[in-house]
Amino acid sequence: MKTRVWMLLLPALVAAGCGPVDGAQEPVVDELTGQVLLEATTKYDMNRLMEDADITGGQWITTAQVQAFLQQNGSYLATYKDPAWSNKTAAALIVERSKAYTISPLYMLARIQGESSLVQSGTSTNLSKATGCGCPDGSGCDAQYVGFGNQIECSAKKMRGYFTDLDAGRTTIAGWKVGLTKSSLDPCSVTPATKATAALYTYTPWVGAYALQCGRTTVGGSSLMAVIYNRFKTAYNWGSAPVTCFSETAGAALPVDGCVQSSSDAMWRQCLSTGDFTAGSTTKPATCTVSYPWCSSATLGRSVPARTCVQSSGDSQWHQCGVEGAWQSAPDAPTSGSGPVGTCFALYAL
């Protein structure tokens, strides 16, 4: 992916009316982009640039928050709507397409800034290649990825693909993996300590100027993503992840006061504000905000846990036990092993 540079503006460097300073060094220009590289106040471990949750978290971030952040920064994107994506706003596209692949909208903002400077620019320069996705260094962008919405979709989808490989214990398409030493293009000998770091180098295979141990000082590189992400993280009140309780039975994170009837013992458990479930009871709590009970199956002649998939004797169609005990259509269950509420807990064919 094309390496872009974020202008790290320091007050002393932009004071109005200041003339040349005796002994001042010449600005360093990024050899890939031609943009000026300024010194960062913080540098990062090249082996641990970002944590996994920095890239895959932030799922609570809203379109309204991203819109406010763009306005706060005087961004051109604050008023932009993409005609190729049903005239959706830039903020909506950033949030919706990022979350579609479980990628953090905050990370996506950092990626946009690092590749095109659009988050803090009042002009539309580089709009069509906002995230540098499908835009190799030294050449133009692939036509299918040109356009703001396409760029967000491309970037989120590729990053999710890298994590899918890493989660499965494989290397990414570029050969990066946690614990595996590999050379960047600087070159630096890097051993990623997190999946996020391995994914970043897959996207942009340069360490760059903002790492402690190594990196070409005339390239922004992946270390630039850590700089931008952490500055954006503290520049706005993004809130925090809501408290949830993950249920193996439901295959989902339940909100506080959410309830589930356990597949192991049929006991009801409710999510507490501490992120823990109650010990369990034989009756459903009266204060459940959402629930995953067992569903009664006429085909089987008994009740079954949430997510169970059954082929109905009435119409031969597949259904899955879902939220609030409702059976939901699951036509792909026999081939994919899953339905509208996730992987089938068990499958029962006629």
Q: Do 268 and 311 fall into the same domain?
A: no
Identify the domain containing residue 39 by its residue range.
11-234
Mean pLDDT of the chain: 90
The verdict on 271 and 147 lying in the same domain is no
Counting every residue written for the chain, the total comes to 350
* pLDDT (0 to 100) of residue 3: 43
64 with 97, same domain?
Answer: yes
Q: What's the pLDDT score for residue 18?
A: 36
Same domain for 79 and 104, yes or no, is: yes
Q: Do 279 and 264 share a structural domain?
A: yes
- 227 neighbors 6 (Cβ within 8 angstroms): yes
pLDDT band at 14 (very low <50, low <70, confident <90, very high): very low
Whether 2 maps to a domain, the answer reads no
Q: What is the average pLDDT across 137-142?
A: 70
DSSP code for 343: E
Residue 301 and residue 187 share a domain: no
Closest CA to 162 of 204, 220, 132, 105: 204
- Asked, for residue 1, whether it belongs to a domain, the answer is no
User: What amino acid occupies position 54?
Assistant: D
**For residue 178, is it within any domain?**
yes
Number of domains in the chain: 3
pLDDT at 46 over 90: yes
Taking 50 as the threshold, does the pLDDT of residue 152 lie above it?
A: yes
Q: Can you tell me whether residue 276 is helix, strand or coil?
A: coil
Inside any domain, residue 346: yes
Lowest mean pLDDT among 21-35, 147-161, 258-272, 332-346: 21-35
- The per-residue pLDDT for 140 is 73
Residue 139 binned pLDDT confidence (cut-offs 50, 70, 90):
low
State the Cα–Cα distance between residues 175 and 188, nearest whole angstrom: 15
Asked if residues 260 and 78 have their Cβ atoms less than 8 Å apart, the reply is no
Q: Using pLDDT thresholds of 50, 70 and 90, give the confidence band for residue 39.
A: confident
Tell me if 5 is assigned to some domain.
no
- The average pLDDT across 238-260 equals 93
Confidence of residue 200 (pLDDT cuts 50, 70, 90): very high
Residue 239 lies in a domain: no
Whether residue 5 is predicted with pLDDT greater than 60 in this model: the reply is: no
SS3 88: strand
Instruction: Give the tokens for residue 101.
Output: 């692949």
Same domain assignment for residues 81 and 98: yes
In terms of domains, do 66 and 209 share one?
yes
Q: Which of 100, 96, 94, 86 is nearest to 116 (CA)?
A: 94
Q: Which of 256, 273, 289 is the last residue of a domain?
A: 289
Please tell me the predicted confidence (pLDDT) of residue 17.
35
- pLDDT for the residue 37: 74
Q: Give the separation between CA 108 and CA 332, rounded to whole angstroms.
A: 32
Residue 240 falls within a domain, yes or no? Answer: no
> Are residues 267 and 224 located together in one domain of the fold?
no
Contact 35, 7 (CB under 8 A): yes
> Do 315 and 253 sit in the same domain of this protein?
no
pLDDT at 262: 97
- Mean pLDDT for 316-336 is 96
pLDDT at 123: 96
Per mean pLDDT, which range of 2-16, 160-174, 198-212, 269-283 is the poorest? Answer: 2-16
Q: Using CA of residue 171, residue 172, residue 175, residue 181, what is the dihedral sign?
A: negative
pLDDT in tens, 215-247: 999 999 999 999 999 999 999 999 988 899 999
CB atoms within 10 A of CB 296: 13
174 and 311 share a domain?
no
- Do residues 300 and 313 share a domain? yes
Note whether residue 6 is domain-resident: no
